[in-house]
Each structure stands twice: as structure tokens, then as C-alpha cells.
Amino acid sequence: MNHWLRNIIILALMLAASGLALSLTPSRKIADQAPTLDLETIIPRTFGDWREEVQSSFQIVDPQTKEMIEKIYTQTLSRTYINQNGYRIMLSIAYGADQGEGMTVHTPDVCYPAQGFTLHDRQKGTLTIPTGTIPVNRVLTSLGQRSEPVTYWTTMGDQVVDGGFNKKLVAVRYGLSGKIPDGMLIRVSSIDNESGRAYEFQDQFSAQMVGAVAPEHRQRLTGNLKPD
């Protein structure tokens, strides 16, 4: 094979590889194809046993992380709810329209220690709703005398992702189809020294909240669930 022909073949292979890489680079955001999302509107202020407590002394987001949150997420929602017995639940939802390479939701396992909290326990759980079950994570945290059990789950596109490996599989599936998934972190917590009681209230709150969201938006919070 002469030198000229060898260079032509090498050039052709390089162009083919470049074209393949380009074709596999996600370029279409699924958020652009879905109904417009407005967290303030779709999450009711009153549902089930709960109503929003407008004047609340409980702090959900540390102001020092506000700049980072606004950079990562497209929308955030932070509210405190209270039931008729005076039990309070803090709700925080963060939505990112681009969960592609280098952009990802920050879970409480990362955010809470960054705010000075200590993590004492992590465990898996399930949240039961009429249409199926959602895999959730539970984290017991504290800051000084403040004990804050946390329940959270994350979505990527149309799936609830549970753990790094599962998340990577979903990301690869979207990437191969040329799509950039959106993502959401739903977190509920309460100031409570009894973690078992806190998780029960958090499950009740979460199930009632999801049930109160309009059907056309509910899947954004739960992903595609398999019925029990």
C-alpha cells in the first residue's frame, strides 16, 4: 500500500469516527418537548391533612448554597407545611432541564454535610402511592441539637433513579437516542428526634402531595411506575 493511499484510509477512518461521535452526542432536550413546568403552580399549597405555613421560622436552604443551586437548577421550590396537629414538614423540589454531561442534581448526602450537618444513617425505602411504589432514600442528619430525618428521591427523564449505577444506565439510554434528560430532586424533611415517626409523617405527606398533583404533571415527580 503506497503512502498516499494509506493517508486516504486513515483520513476516512478519522472522519467516520468523528461522525459517529457526533451522532452519539445528545442534542435534544426532552424538557423542550414536554409541557411547561411551573413548580409554584403544580404543587398545591393545601392538600390532604396539610397546608402551607407561609410565616415559618424553619430554614430549608442555606443561603450560602443559593448561588450554586441557581446555577445548577432551572427551578426550585421551598415550602413548609403544617397539619392540624402542628407537625411540620419541609418540602424542597429542585428541577434541572439539562441533566446531561456535567450537570446533575445534588442529593442531601452531599448538600447537608456541605452545610455543616452530620450524617448518621442511610437506608433505602419505598413510598406507596395509588399507581405504584417509588424507591426512596432516607438520611438521618443533625446539626447541633437539631435532628432532621430526610426522605428524598430523584428522577431522570421518565425514570426514578436509585443509585449511581442505575442513573448511569438511564443516562446512557437517553444518550444513545440523542436526547438530554431533565431531572428532579424531591426532598421532604422534618425536625424530629424520633426518626421512625418522622419517616411515617413524611411518607403520608409525600403520598398525599403526589396524589394532589394534576395527572398531566404527576409523572414528572414519579416517573413511569410499575403497578404493584
Reduced to 3 states (helix: H, G, I; strand: E, B; else coil), residue 91 is strand
pLDDT digit string, tens, across residues 84-97: 999 999 999 988 87
Most confident of 15-24, 39-48, 164-173: 39-48
**For position 130, what pLDDT does the model report?**
80
Model confidence at 63, in pLDDT bands (50, 70, 90)?
A: very low
**For position 173, what pLDDT does the model report?**
72
Half-sphere exposure of 164 (CA within 13 A, CB side): 2
Per-residue pLDDT, averaged over 131-153, amounts to 93
Share of the chain above pLDDT 70, in %: 67
Q: Is 142 exposed, middle or buried (0-12, 13-18, 19+ CB in 10 A)?
A: middle
Contact assessment for residue 37 and residue 217, using Cβ atoms and an 8 Å cutoff: yes
**For position 181, what pLDDT does the model report?**
79
- All 3 cell numbers of residue 51? 397546608
Q: DSSP readout, 9-68?
A: HHHHHHHHHHHHHHHTS--EEGGGTSPP--HHHHS-SEETTEEE-SS-----S-GGGHHH
Question: Locate cell 461521535: which residue?
Answer: 21
Per-residue pLDDT, averaged over 112-132, amounts to 88
**For position 11, what pLDDT does the model report?**
47
Model confidence at 73, in pLDDT bands (50, 70, 90)?
A: confident
* Own/partner long-range contacts of 23-28 (Cβ < 8 Å, ≥24 apart): 23/178, 24/175, 24/176, 24/178, 25/178, 26/100, 26/174, 26/175, 26/178, 26/179, 26/180, 27/178, 27/180, 28/178, 28/179, 28/180
In the beta sheet, which residues pair with residue 135?
A: 126
pLDDT digit string, tens, across residues 12-43: 545 444 444 444 455 566 555 666 789 999 99
Average pLDDT of the chain is: 78
Nearest alpha carbon to residue 193 among 149, 144, 128: 149
Reduced to 3 states (helix: H, G, I; strand: E, B; else coil), residue 187 is strand
Q: Is 140 exposed, middle or buried (0-12, 13-18, 19+ CB in 10 A)?
A: middle
pLDDT digit string, tens, across residues 176-227: 767 777 888 999 999 999 999 999 999 999 999 999 999 888 888 888 765 5
Chain CA centroid to CA 39, Å: 13
Total Cβ atoms within 10 A of residue 7 = 10
**For position 99, what pLDDT does the model report?**
61
The whole-model pTM stands at: 0.78
**For position 202, what pLDDT does the model report?**
97
